[in-house]
Amino acid sequence: QTDARLSACRKVCRGSKLFCVFQQRLTDSVNFSRPWPDYVSGFGDEDNFWIGLELLSLITSLSNSTLRAELFDWSDAMFSAEYLGFVVKNASTQYTMDYAGFLSANSNVTGDSLSLCRGEKFSTMDRDNDNFGGSCSLIYHGAAGWWFRGCSNVNPNGWMTSGQVDNFPKAVHWYSVHGNKNSLKAVRLLVQLPTEGP
Ligand SMILES: [Ca+2]
């Protein structure tokens, strides 16, 4: 059962680690401003997708997973950020996310931009689980789904822009790449899979 569900993962290797791509944004063909059930079960097409919180939670329950973010700016430079001990808890916790630590040795960004999201429940445009007076998703982050606190220094599920846009927090961005309001060109999020046996 578990193996059948994991077959939905697009598997990639980075160094000696095997990862599942759980989110990817390459073009604007898929709208990521979506309600809770879509973020739970997943959505998208070949290039732009979110695999869903249920499957993500399952994967992180199987082994000690590393999270890897791959972020591309408008000169096509790639920035990476890795986190040890990434976990997404089950539905009863509103898919609370946590991690053990930022892995600077495997990252080429200047710091931990996820710290505001650590230990937070997932929120969407129609489900406000954040600590902010209003809805982080609706007011600041383009109706994206994410682990908002009050709110977030990253927004990988935000709006795709057709060029570099500054001072636009609704766009896809990651603070330690080019600030918390400057749009990025593409993003991919990976979660480590258990090493396959012989
Ligand atoms: Ca709120």
Residue 86 has φ and ψ, to the nearest 5°, of: -75, 130
Q: Which domain holds residue 143?
A: 2-192
Is there a domain that residue 31 lies in? yes
Is there a domain that residue 17 lies in? yes
User: How many angstroms does the Cα of residue 171 sit away from the middle of ligand 1?
Assistant: 20
Residue 7 has φ and ψ, to the nearest 5°, of: -65, -15
Three-state secondary structure readout of 61-116: HHCCEEEEEEEECCCCCEEEEEEEEEEECCHHHCCCEECCEECHHHCCCCCCCCHH
Residue 162 has φ and ψ, to the nearest 5°, of: -90, 0
User: How many angstroms does the Cα of residue 133 sit away from the middle of ligand 1?
Assistant: 5
Is there a domain that residue 58 lies in? yes
User: How many angstroms does the Cα of residue 115 sit away from the middle of ligand 1?
Assistant: 18
User: How many angstroms does the Cα of residue 137 sit away from the middle of ligand 1?
Assistant: 9
User: How many angstroms does the Cα of residue 140 sit away from the middle of ligand 1?
Assistant: 11
Whole-model pTM above 0.75?
yes
User: How many angstroms does the Cα of residue 14 sit away from the middle of ligand 1?
Assistant: 37
User: How many angstroms does the Cα of residue 41 sit away from the middle of ligand 1?
Assistant: 23
Is there a domain that residue 198 lies in? no
Is there a domain that residue 19 lies in? yes
Structure tokens at 127: 């489900």
We report the CATH number of the domain holding residue 52 as 3.90.215.10
User: How many angstroms does the Cα of residue 139 sit away from the middle of ligand 1?
Assistant: 10
State which residues have CB under 5 angstroms from ligand 1, the bound ion.
128, 130, 132
Is there a domain that residue 197 lies in? no
Per-residue pLDDT of the chain (198 residues; tens, 9 = 90+): 556 778 889 999 999 999 999 999 999 999 999 999 999 999 999 999 999 999 999 999 999 999 999 999 999 999 999 999 999 999 999 999 999 999 999 999 989 999 999 999 999 999 999 999 999 999 999 999 999 999 999 999 999 999 999 999 999 999 999 999 999 999 999 999 988 654
User: How many angstroms does the Cα of residue 121 sit away from the middle of ligand 1?
Assistant: 11
- State how many domains the chain has: 1
User: How many angstroms does the Cα of residue 151 sit away from the middle of ligand 1?
Assistant: 9
What does the pLDDT read at residue 192?
96
